Structure 1
Amino acid sequence: MKKLLFFLALSFAQMSFAQENNLEKIISNNSQNVKIRDNNNFQNVLYVIDGMPTFSDCSAINVQNIESINVIKGERATGLYGYRAKNGVLIFTTKPNTQFLNFRNIVKEFKISKADQFLPIVLNKHFVDEKDYLLLDKSAIISVKILEEQPFVEPVLLPRGKAIYIEAMETK
């Protein structure tokens, strides 16, 4: 039931953004890919999770931990969160005791060596280009490992060689 409510709220948020901007909505298989599309390009929506800004492709949330979702768009969004919110904001409030990890916490929690901290990050087969915005619900993380050779989707963006691979729950 919670997954259904989460999906409905996420779908509503996407439709709301799309209607206001006359954009075509994209509904994907997981919460990491809430994107709004016009005719030529893709634009990320800013997520604010318990007051911490992140982008949809830099976050993972266990749907069991979501208490509420709010939508802010237009001038109000940019007024509150600046230029990065130009495509709208989804504000998530999570249940008490939900623990989020940023990149620094992930390094400590999963004992990533100092040398490996500078490697590219891949979250669920997608390159994370903004480490500062990485924010993961600890209960959504399945594994964190160093790959000797990353074989994933975006080879143009990622240099060949090692990468930090984070596998997290995906909302279906």
Structure 2
Amino acid sequence: MKKILFLVVLSFTQMSFAQNFDIRTSSSNQTSKSIYSKQDAPLVVANGQKTFFYATAFIPNNIESITVIKGEKAVNLHGEKAKNGVLEITFKPNTVLLNLQNFYSEYNISKADQFLPIVLNKHFVDEKEYLLLDKSAITSVKILDEQPFVEPVLLPKGKAIYIEAMEMK
């Protein structure tokens, strides 16, 4: 039931945020703009920690509540990064959320490897400081010698930290 509620709220939120953007299909010289772009993404505040959906992995069953905040109120509460709105998510008390430093410690990422790019489910996390993971969603963590992904990861060839996590569906 929580998963259905989460998906309904997420769908509603995306539709309500979509009205603020010029969304159209690509034609000739026009580039398409999606509500999923990082520039237009709403800020997510999960148990008080700021993040964005592209830098997260959550299990919907661990969510206790979701509040949607838009407009000037969102910016006043959370700053300029909240200009596209805010999803405040409260997790159940037993949920372990890992920020970047907790993640490095939990998975014994060496100091040298902490400078590597992070790829979460084949998506490059360009603002690593916003990484926020529900520990129970993580299925594997690897240091790849050569990241094999083409699109949407836009990384130079070389090593990367690859996190595989359950995706919300």
Residue in 2 aligned with 1:144?
141
What RMSD, in angstroms, separates the aligned Cα atoms of the two structures? 2.0
In 1, distance between residues paired with 2:55 and 2:84?
16
Alignment of 1:13-52 (within 5 A): 13-19=13-19, 21=20, 23-24=22-23, 36=35, 43-52=40-49
Normalised by the length of structure 1, the TM-score is 0.85
In 1, distance between residues paired with 2:21 and 2:155?
33
Question: Is residue 145–residue 164 contact of structure 1 (8 Å, CA) maintained in 2?
Answer: yes
Pick closer, same or farther for the CA change 1:103–1:42 going to 2, 3 Å: closer
Question: Is residue 23–residue 37 contact of structure 1 (8 Å, CA) maintained in 2?
Answer: no
Residue in 2 aligned with 1:154?
152
Select 2:100's aligned residue among 89, 99, 103: 103
Structure 1, residues 49-77: CA drift from partner, whole Å, max 9, x if none?
01110011111111110011110111111
Q: Percent identity?
A: 64
Pick closer, same or farther for the CA change 1:22–1:147 going to 2, 3 Å: closer
More strand by share: 1
Gaps of 5+ in 1: 26-34
Runs of 4 or more off by more than 6 Å in structure 1?
A: none
- Aligned pairs, how many? 159
Q: Secondary structure at the match of 1:6?
A: helix
Question: Does residue 1:72 correspond to 2:69, yes or no?
Answer: yes
Structure 1, residues 113-137: CA drift from partner, whole Å, max 9, x if none?
1111100000010000111111101
Pick closer, same or farther for the CA change 1:37–1:101 going to 2, 3 Å: closer
Gaps of 5+ in 2: 25-33
Once the two structures are TM-superposed, the CA of residue 5 in structure 1 deviates from its matched residue by: 1.5
